Structure 1
Amino acid sequence: MDNHHLPLYTAGQMRRTDSNAIKKLGVPGAVLMERAGMAVAEYLLEHFCEHHCFKVLAGKGNNGGDGFVVARHLAEAGADVSVFAVADAGEYKGDALTNLRILGKMGLKVNHTPGDSVLRRALASDCIVVDAVFGTGFSGEPRGRSARFIQIAARAADRSGIPVVAVDIASGVDASTGVATARALPADTTVTFHVPKVGHFVAPGSYLSGDVILADIGIPAAASAAADHFLTAADQIAAMIPPKMDHDNKFSTGRVLVVGGSTGLTGAACLASLSALRSGAGVVTAAVPASLNPIFEQRLLEVMTLPLDDRGGHLSLSALDRALEAAASVDCLALGPGLGRDPGTASLVRKLLALTEVPVVLDADGLNALAGKPGSLRKRRGPTVLTPHAGELGRLMGVPAAEVAENGLLHARNAARRTGAVVLLKGSHSIATDGRTVLINPTGNPGLATAGSGDILTGVTAALLAKGLDPLNAAAGAALLHGSAADLAAGELGMDNIIASDLLNFLPPAFAGPEDSDA
């Protein structure tokens, strides 16, 4: 797959890039450290010009060395700088040691291994905290003095509201996964180098990174490692979506069949159908329980309906033949919105998946029909996109939802590999993956935490699949456009006031993009 999305690095990829620059291309490591520290100092001096007091917390590795460089440049600019080091002077080496010695020769005192009470008093003042304790090599749990440093700093920042600026990544966040220790130090801003890191954009690390500022520190492009994680780029998605042309008709611009709805859940199928239309699909048909069809006929003007056999308002297995006939004449099948959990409906879902080759978006109770049986999807002959939230992915894979939420990246990739499908794990910075490549969504806001927003996403995904996008870009593009619509809605209606149907009106400007929207 050609990939022109924005690369994100794991810790290993950043380490290889540094090594390439230093060992293969001859860029001195001291130069990279100098430019990194200078970039952070320049940011601090520009954005906190009213403050002249900074507390630099330095770890014992290269991240601490970056912190020493930051302190030097702040001091040279006339700022009041205090440096607190996790380790004794004798524990530093290499470029970090070089920069520690420079501070000593400048007369800037470094407080090595201060006691807890000393650090608490120092951080009680109204000073900016510079977090240079852990770098991108951190994983697991902080221990010893490092753990106490970031814990004391986190409590001080929480009490006083003093800003925290992280060097490269917030201490306690795993750069490769976004997994964070409970004792992490939340940052208001992170200044990172060369390429943003995965942990900046995957929850819970994304919650702890604040605004992410990218600084060029002079690593040549030739040193850059290949990436397999990316931030979805709006211009790339826009370029993939075919515009409607003079020769097109409603059948050539994407035909979608939505199989869904049940007693009490008719709105889900309606929202998915309407969002598919708003996302450019030419024809959308809602295949729904026959006993509920009058509801859909009244609520849907542009969407056609297909009444199917049901029992008590839930689709039954006897609807299979008619559903298969309808699925044979569309470009994408959206399966799940509002289906309910009736055993007969679950059997219908499993049969449709097994007997169709059309691309499928599987959501909500469509996913629940396969709970504990992810391997069954590998038998599908057509492309499949799964759009679960943490609970639905947990049920599918037999994993507690809390574990999925804690390490969404790991579980999304595992699910993609086991099912052979593209997985779009919904949440803050939704994750789309085929098990190899990962695309992370940069758009959206907490206003999406409202009933029916997932059904809107299902419809957008189905429309993009029906228009011919490959499953990974269809999933990632749908998440991006869905989030963009939510951002536009929040700007006009307020984030706390969005309901799912509001998003329908903001999908067209989301597809148009900022340039067309402002024209």
Structure 2
Amino acid sequence: MNYNPHLNKRNEKGNKGTFGQVLVIAGNESMSGCVYFCAMAALRSGCGMVNIFTDRNNIESLKVLMPEAIFDWFDNIKHPVFDEKDTFFKDKLDRLLKKADSVVIGPGLGIREDTLKITEYVLKNYDGNIIVDADALNSISVKYKFANALSEDFKADTNHPLYNKEKNRTVIITPHILELARLCSLKTEEVKQNLDDLAMKIAKEYGIITVFKDSSTRVSDGVDLFVNKSGNSSLSTAGSGDILAGMIASLVINEEYPFRGVNTAVYLHGRSGEFAGKELTAFCVTARNILEYMPKAFSALKIDDRIYNNCVILEVMNASK
């Protein structure tokens, strides 16, 4: 199977329902920017609609920035800590989850107990595509670990909230190196030296897709490993990871092979940074610029003869052993 980046032909007779809905659960009152970058990236990657669930204090400014989105709110979720018995909050979240084809959870929520509880609830009760990012991962790492991930006899903890084997859905995790180190209780140097191995083993044991962000991002479904070479230092700016999460959420919706949808998002994210950096210089690129150059990256994908040089698939024949 060829899992290299690929854009499916768009249904010219489709409507916004055809292209699916993304739900973005993100942003405490001081982190509205990550909501904007994630949601706008999802919209610019082809989904039909984005619903945003964020802190009430973010709503008015975000409505001005992106009238294309639909908004719902929570009062600052640390007061009180999220409780499934809080029927008002739970019913609102359930209603949003029911409509979504993909969910992004984590950007800007803060590392705290209620973020963990909401993340656990979504992982327990939602059966679509789930992109677990940023503070959702950081909050998980406080209580749960990918213990002994470097050992030869590494096995999944079936009580871990990210455990996804035998479930009919796709869970995608998107940590950068420091977040992955927290998840594994390892030093960052150990993570960087073993990135391929960790990507493969964690994906295989937990039944998830791993996206380990680095200068050459690794993506694995536990069988194959995708090493992305697109991108440059233009991507090393606040909000860049939020954009990637939104792109992934959108591109996996109508993709028969979610692994390929993720690879496509990672590749196009890198190319967007390249185009922005070429025009503006890497010094001057912000997350806003990455969004602005996404259309150029999408347009170039089908004619880009660099693609197979930039992206390498390593088939691991003994992954199932």
Pairing of 1:261-272 with structure 2 (within 5 A): 261-272=27-38
**Aligned partner of residue 325 in structure 1, secondary structure:** helix
The change in CA–CA distance for 1:262 and 1:438 in structure 2 (over 3 A counts) is same
Pairing of 1:271-310 with structure 2 (within 5 A): 271-310=37-76
CA contact (8 A) 1:250 1:282 kept: yes
What stretches of structure 1 move > 6 A for 4+ residues in a row? none
CA contact (8 A) 2:38 2:244 kept: yes
Once the 2 structures are TM-superposed, how far is the Cα of residue 422 of structure 1 from its aligned partner? 0.3
The change in CA–CA distance for 1:501 and 1:244 in structure 2 (over 3 A counts) is farther
Report Cα offsets for 1:175-216 as digits up to 9, x if no partner: xxxxxxxxxxxxxxxxxxxxxxxxxxxxxxxxxxxxxxxxxx
**What is the number of equivalent residue pairs in this alignment?**
283
Question: Larger radius of gyration, structure 1 or 2?
Answer: 1
CA contact (8 A) 1:289 1:308 kept: yes
**Aligned partner of residue 288 in structure 1, secondary structure:** strand
- Check if 1:341 corresponds to 2:126: no
Larger CA deviation: 412-421 vs 374-383: 374-383
The change in CA–CA distance for 1:251 and 1:268 in structure 2 (over 3 A counts) is same
- Equivalence for 2:138: 368
- Name the amino acid aligned to 1:243: R
**Aligned partner of residue 110 in structure 2, secondary structure:** coil
Q: 1:478 aligns with which of 265, 285, 302?
A: 265
| Structure 1, gaps ≥5 residues long | 6-232
- Check if 1:243 corresponds to 2:10: yes
Once the 2 structures are TM-superposed, how far is the Cα of residue 407 of structure 1 from its aligned partner? 2.0
- Name the amino acid aligned to 1:447: S
What's the % identity of the aligned pairs? 28
- Equivalence for 1:324: 94
CA contact (8 A) 1:432 1:439 kept: yes
Q: 1:406 aligns with which of 183, 186, 193?
A: 193
The change in CA–CA distance for 1:406 and 1:362 in structure 2 (over 3 A counts) is same
Give the distance between the partners of 1:356 and 1:341, measured in 2 at CA.
22
Q: Relative contact order: is structure 1 or structure 2 higher (C-alpha 8 Å, sep ≥ 6)?
A: 2
- Name the amino acid aligned to 2:109: L
Report Cα offsets for 1:116-140 as digits up to 9, x if no partner: xxxxxxxxxxxxxxxxxxxxxxxxx
- Equivalence for 1:45: none
- Equivalence for 1:465: 252
**Aligned partner of residue 53 in structure 2, secondary structure:** strand
| TM norm structure 1 | 0.52
CA contact (8 A) 2:247 2:265 kept: yes
Q: 1:488 aligns with which of 272, 275, 279?
A: 275
- Equivalence for 1:456: 243
The change in CA–CA distance for 1:291 and 1:515 in structure 2 (over 3 A counts) is closer
Give the distance between the partners of 2:292 and 2:256, measured in 1 at CA.
23
Pairing of 1:201-280 with structure 2 (within 5 A): 233-234=4-5, 237-238=6-7, 241-245=8-12, 247-280=13-46
Give the distance between the partners of 2:117 and 2:289, measured in 1 at CA.
33
Report Cα offsets for 1:233-255 as digits up to 9, x if no partner: 44xx13xx24141x211111121
Give the distance between the partners of 1:328 and 1:407, measured in 2 at CA.
38
- Check if 1:442 corresponds to 2:229: yes
Question: What do you get for the CA RMSD once the two structures are aligned?
Answer: 2.1
CA contact (8 A) 1:263 1:314 kept: no
